[in-house]
Amino acid sequence: MSRHAATPATWVDAWEPAIGAERATAAFRTRFDAEPDGVWSAPGRVNLIGEHTDYNGGLCLPIDLPHRTYVAFRRTTAVAADDAVVRLASAQEPDAGLWSSALADVRPGRVQGWPAYAAGVAWALAEDGHAIGGFDAVVDSCVPYGAGLSSSAALECAVAVALDEAFGLGLAADAGRARLVAACIRAENEVAGAPTGGMDQSSSLRAQAGHALLLDSLDQSVRHVPFDLAAAGLALLVVDTKAEHQLADGQYAARRTACEAAARHLGVATLREIAPKSLDDALARITDDDQPTEVTQRRVRHVVTEIARVERFVALLDAGRVRDVGPLMDASHASLRDDYEVSAPELDVAVDAARSAGALGARMTGGGFGGSAIALVEVGAIDAVAEAVARAFADAGFHPPAFLVAEAAAAAARTA
């Protein structure tokens, strides 16, 4: 969606797929003096509701963004061999130059920085029994970096679909894509060292245009929920706060560890098993030797109530009542801010300013500790809400935010 030139806010528009493919192809030619076999791309995502539930066996509801990561790719050896090599470059990391490694040396503990997310997928697929050979790849992306919109998963998933086609893995159907999701999660968890759940990769690989993806993390089953805000006269405004989103600094891992420890203490496999009506009893039974018990209780309360909010949100969508989901978004943000403690001053200002300017509901989205917020707004109020948030950031002395409008887009695929 294009913006009015008079709007003082900074807007981040998605590239047309042909433009993204052209950019990645041109960069590949410059880097390798050769033509790629093709260009594959995968979207970033924004989560409507269901935060920090995926690694707790819960439900979440993301949509794919029209903003995508493009990977120009060329297979260099048919199968893994002692001399197979992976070579990677990124338009977003020009100073890093060309990264190169023997394919046999790609494994946990041996790859640092952004190449871990790309090369790690090849390692994970090989670990899953697939024959992966050497390859060259160049990345270009319009998914905002460090914004909590899943730029890392977009990279992983674009590489995954490229590897699938280039090496004939036969994983194009949804069941195969579930295996690609698993490989991307292993790459992120084990090679890149970020202990995230699987929501981002599932959305990027398995969502459908015009739909939200209801993901059940217990069995990885999905349901495609129609999501057409325009028909209701609404839009989803995304605010990139520019407070850099980092998941590998220990805070995310600490939340996950606390939840897993609480589940063990309560005698359940995951916190999904704690029903809302049993929450008070479960909280009363929690003790924690590693941190104050009250902190762990708040972590558990967020997860259990957030899963229930996802269920209510989907029920409203199914009933055609999208205009009624705002209070659930507001409650989700309060829970993430107060019980899970993953918000940030910039996120809180964005949410408060959007609501004051007329948003029906607003919340942080993604893992937190920076990143982005979302606001459900009337189509005619997009610019006014963005301007109000931009003014609030200026008044608070924060770096100016950037904005985009989220529309439920298509999953990872060959682009050219």
Structure tokens at 378: 């009337």
Considering the candidates 136, 200, 240, 383, report the single residue annotated as catalytic.
200
Got the DSSP string for 55-72? GGT-EE-EEEEEEEEEEE
Q: If you ran DSSP here, which 8-state letter would residue 233 be given? A: T
Cα–Cα distances in angstroms (integers) from residue 248 to residues 113, 189, 340, 369, in the given order: 11, 10, 17, 11
348 in active site: no
Distance from C-alpha of 122 to C-alpha of 168, rounded to nearest angstrom:
13
Residue pair 75/166 in contact by the 8 Å Cβ criterion:
yes
Nearest of 204, 150, 192, 158 to residue 371 by alpha carbon:
150
The rounded distance, in Å, linking the Cα atoms of 325 and 247 is 28
| Polymer length of the chain | 416
Strands (E), 28-186: 38-47, 59-60, 62-75, 85-90, 99-102, 135-141
Contact call for residues 180 and 162 (beta carbons, < 8 A)? no
Active-site annotation, residues:
200
